[in-house]
């Protein structure tokens, strides 16, 4: 009888719990009725006159889309709108300034909290404990937006500074003042009402993926073959995929020997992609490993070693599920739409069309033929990273390492040199010192990154990997790239007229400046390139890099579209799908150029795991870099960099029009690449 009573009670509790969850879900989704929206607008027109009709309709409709039953009744909604609607333009401007000040305070301090909590994960501060991961995954601002709904600050903003879609911004923005753009950016804060628990989960999953990648090191000195030969320095440790890719790039000046070493690295990459890489050899110097046969050795004897499995793809699944949970709460109801239309402010369809058109360009075969001639061999799959167009390609990597290791033995040395580097690029002493004073250099566990400040008074952070032997050239090259990010982050925070316009349209624009800085790395070292073909080589380098990253970006897009078509897929199914999509894209856009089919190389990028739907920013970054670079060639570099990044975060095309007087385009790059081939071939 007790068992029956217990079962009955269990059923009652489960039913009650399910009903409670259902009721909560209904509260989260409930909207204000159309009749209430109409009567609210009419009440505002009665109070303030017909001139406010358009603003009232937009503001009330948007606020209604965010209001939930827990916020109050429909009558309370109407009363709130009538009470808090601002009809007076002067009062609206003053209210905006107050909101802007407070948003900067909140964002800035939350940014600093995240920066400090994640330091043990990002910087070499000793062994990482589980508690470090827990705090690193904690998002202090996860409840900020929801708190603003609870205290109704969000509704005041949504009512008076409503959201404009990308299509509306593109149409109306042409006639907007700077203040109107800033108003619109404030409206972007409250486009969707996503529960804090979901945001917290997204943050925790993202942090886990970040750690997975940050610790994915391959001990290259322990790569071997069946004869027991070793090929790389004993202490060489390369992070996947960045350092592996850069290792391939470093061997283009070594002839046949270089090709053999590149092939070894590529074998490692393929093992990572198909997840047959033995788990024992990841971030572990205790074993030797032959990536060709996939045999692991200990003390010269072959041992059993289980493959990693599908952890790489499980990380992607985890991110997909976390981000998909946001869909039903957002007007941009997929992660893909949020990444493109919401983040990049370019539609995924437009991006794909542009990428496909570029990768179908006839000039690619001409450039490939030139590369093949320069290499003196047929192209290999890893030649998507051909590095021979760079000025440093004919400079021995060891010589470059000697220079950078001597100059930058530690992070402090790089930090002390930042102002000097900026002066070399044409910045005034005063501006160079200001920027350097607002950028801190930190050693990094991973390959490095740039972390911008969230408010005036705080510094941006440049993280880069610096071994005990000093910064090698690979690390320096990445550091210069990240330095470009920091310069943009600092200019677009301190020099933009409205805080809500700080930053750039999307990360492709900050990538553009980072690439422009990175190309000047030898110049910053005092190495003068007197090659008369330098300009043509630079164009070809950008053209080929754009080709490579567009294929990877297209794979990233198609993988996410596949996930939405197969939301219940497991890691094994995703792995098969990603490899299939990678080969499909390769065969369509690379095999005709390389003469090699069925290669999976596009699937190696770590961004697919720890930076979901981010890669397309790099592709657009190359396009924007090219257009900005062409513009800067005819202008004062430092002066124009400052002007361009004072424009702030308009939409991409609005920024390009104001900055350069043209839209984002592939035409100029393709045309110039064709001309550059002729110059270099002569």
Burial of 618 (0-12, 13-18, 19+ CB in 10 A): buried
Residues 439 and 489 in one domain: yes
Residues 21 and 51 in one domain: no
What are 366-422's pLDDT values in tens digits?
Answer: 999 999 999 999 999 999 999 998 755 556 788 899 999 999 999 999 999 999 999
**Cβ atoms 233, 397 nearer than 8 A:** no
| C-beta of residue 518 within 8 angstroms of C-beta of residue 481 | yes
| 596 found inside a domain | no
Contact assessment for residue 440 and residue 513, using Cβ atoms and an 8 Å cutoff = no
To the question of pTM greater than 0.75 for the whole model, the response is yes
Same domain (yes/no): 163, 46: yes
The answer to whether the CB of 231 falls within 8 A of the CB of 264 is yes
DSSP letters for 314-329: HHHHHHHHHHHTTGGG
* Average pLDDT for the chain: 91
In this predicted model, what pLDDT tens digit does every residue of 317-373 receive, in sequence order?
999 999 999 999 888 999 999 999 998 999 999 999 999 999 999 999 999 999 999
Reported as a pLDDT band with limits 50, 70 and 90, residue 29 is: low
How many domains in the chain?
A: 3
pLDDT tens by residue, 158-186:
999 999 999 999 999 999 999 999 999 99
| 496 shares a domain with 410 | yes
Does the residue 500 lie in any domain? Answer: yes
* Residue 150 and residue 119 share a domain: yes
Dihedral over alpha carbons 398, 399, 401, 407 (to 10 degrees):
160
Among 123, 152, 174, which residue terminates a domain?
174
Q: Is residue 48 part of a domain?
A: yes
Residue ending a domain, among 141, 157, 174, is 174
pLDDT at 44 over 90: yes
* Domain stop point among 114, 148, 174: 174
pLDDT digit string (tens) for 615-660?
Answer: 999 899 889 888 988 888 888 999 999 999 999 999 998 999 999 9
Task: Tell me if residue 531 falls in helix, strand or coil.
Answer: coil
Q: How many CB atoms lie within 10 A of CB 625?
A: 27
Identify whether residues 1 and 58 lie together within a single domain.
no
Residue 393 has what pLDDT? 52
Residue 103 and residue 500 in contact, taking contact as beta carbons nearer than 8 Å: yes
Please tell me what DSSP assigns to residue 526. Answer: T
Tell whether 509 is covered by a domain: yes
Q: Are residues 158 and 50 both part of a single domain?
A: yes
- Residue 432 domain-assigned? yes
Give the CA count within 13 Å in the CB-facing half-sphere of 317: 17
Q: Which domain holds residue 163?
A: 31-174
- 301 within a domain of the structure (yes/no): no
Q: What is the DSSP letter of 223?
A: B
The token duo for 220 is 């290259």
Q: Same domain, yes or no, for 77 and 21? A: no
- Least confident piece of the model among 121-125, 319-323, 580-584: 121-125
Whether residue 88 is found in the same domain as residue 20: no
Residue corresponding to tokens 């409670």:
20
pLDDT value for 30: 54
Residues 68 and 145 in one domain: yes
pLDDT tens profile 484-536: 999 999 999 999 999 999 999 987 788 888 888 998 999 999 987 667 788 89
Q: Are 156 and 62 in contact (CB under 8 A)?
A: no
Cα–Cα distance between 52 and 314 in angstroms, integer? 52
The verdict on residue 408 lying in a domain is yes
The answer on 99 and 137 residing in a single domain is yes
Residue 47 lies inside a defined structural domain of this protein: yes
Shared domain check, 138 and 111: yes
Which tokens go with 457?
A: 């008074």
């Amino acid at each position: 009888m007790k068992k029956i009573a217990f079962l009955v009670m269990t059923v009652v509790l489960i039913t009650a719990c399910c009903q409670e969850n259902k009721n909560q879900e209904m509260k989260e989704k409930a909207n204000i009725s159309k009749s209430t929206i109409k009567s609210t607008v009419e009440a505002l027109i009665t109070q303030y006159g017909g001139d406010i009709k358009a603003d009232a309709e937009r503001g009330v409709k948007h606020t209604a889309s965010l209001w939930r039953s827990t916020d109050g009744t429909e009558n309370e909604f109407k009363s709130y709108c009538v009470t808090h609607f601002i009809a007076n333009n002067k009062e609206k401007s003053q209210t905006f300034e107050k909101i802007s000040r407070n948003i900067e305070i909140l964002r800035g301090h939350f940014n600093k909290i995240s920066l400090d909590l994640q330091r043990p994960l990002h910087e070499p501060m000793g062994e990482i404990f589980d508690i470090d991961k827990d705090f690193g995954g904690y998002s202090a601002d996860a409840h900020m937006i929801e708190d603003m709904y609870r205290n109704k600050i969000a509704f005041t903003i949504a009512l008076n500074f409503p959201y404009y879609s990308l299509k509306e911004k593109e149409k109306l923005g042409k006639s907007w003042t700077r203040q109107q753009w800033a108003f619109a950016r404030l409206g972007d804060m409250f486009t969707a009402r996503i529960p804090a628990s979901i945001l917290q989960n997204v943050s925790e999953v993202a942090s886990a993926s970040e750690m997975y990648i940050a610790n994915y090191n391959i001990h290259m000195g322990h790569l071997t073959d069946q004869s027991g030969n070793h090929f790389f320095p004993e202490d060489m440790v390369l992070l996947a995929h960045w350092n592996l890719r850069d290792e391939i790039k470093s061997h283009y000046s070594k002839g046949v020997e270089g090709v053999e070493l590149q092939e070894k690295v590529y074998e490692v990459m393929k093992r990572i992609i198909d997840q047959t890489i033995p788990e024992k050899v990841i971030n572990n110097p205790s074993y030797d490993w032959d990536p060709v046969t996939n045999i692991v050795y200990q003390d010269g004897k072959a041992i059993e070693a289980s493959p990693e499995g599908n952890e790489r793809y499980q990380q992607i699944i985890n991110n997909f599920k976390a981000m998909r949970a946001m869909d039903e709460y957002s007007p941009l109801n997929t992660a893909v739409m949020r990444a493109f239309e919401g983040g990049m402010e370019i539609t995924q369809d437009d991006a794909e069309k542009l990428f496909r058109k570029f990768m179908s360009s006839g000039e690619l075969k001409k450039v490939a033929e030139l590369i093949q001639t320069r290499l003196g061999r047929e192209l290999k799959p890893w030649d998507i990273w051909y590095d021979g167009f760079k000025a440093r390609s004919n400079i021995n990597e060891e010589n470059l390492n000697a220079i950078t290791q001597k100059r930058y033995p530690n992070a402090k040395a790089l930090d002390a040199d930042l102002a000097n580097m900026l002066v070399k690029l044409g910045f005034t002493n005063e501006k160079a010192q200001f920027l350097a004073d607002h950028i801190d250099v930190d050693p990094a566990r991973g390959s490095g990154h740039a972390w911008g400040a969230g408010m005036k008074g705080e510094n941006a952070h440049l993280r880069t990997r610096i071994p005990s032997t000093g910064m090698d050239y690979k690390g320096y090259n990445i550091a210069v790239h990240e330095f470009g990010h920091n310069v943009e982050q600092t200019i677009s925070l301190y020099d933009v007229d409205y805080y809500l316009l700080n930053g750039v349209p999307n990360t492709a624009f900050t990538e553009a400046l980072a690439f422009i800085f990175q190309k000047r790395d030898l110049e910053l070292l005092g190495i003068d390139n007197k090659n008369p073909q330098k300009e043509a080589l630079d164009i070809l380098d950008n053209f080929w890099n754009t080709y490579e990253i567009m294929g990877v970006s297209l794979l990233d897009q198609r993988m996410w579209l596949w996930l939405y078509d197969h939301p219940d897929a497991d890691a094994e199914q995703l792995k098969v799908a990603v490899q299939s999509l990678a080969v499909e894209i390769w065969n369509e856009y690379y095999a005709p150029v390389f003469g090699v089919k069925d290669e999976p190389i596009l699937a190696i990028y770590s961004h697919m795991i720890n930076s979901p739907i981010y890669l397309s920013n790099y592709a657009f970054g190359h396009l924007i870099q090219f257009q900005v670079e062409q513009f800067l060639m005819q202008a004062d570099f430092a002066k124009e960099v400052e002007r361009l990044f004072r424009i702030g975060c308009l939409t991409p095309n609005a920024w390009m029009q104001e900055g350069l007087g043209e839209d984002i385009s592939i035409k100029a790059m393709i045309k110039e690449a064709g001309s550059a081939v002729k110059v270099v071939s002569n």
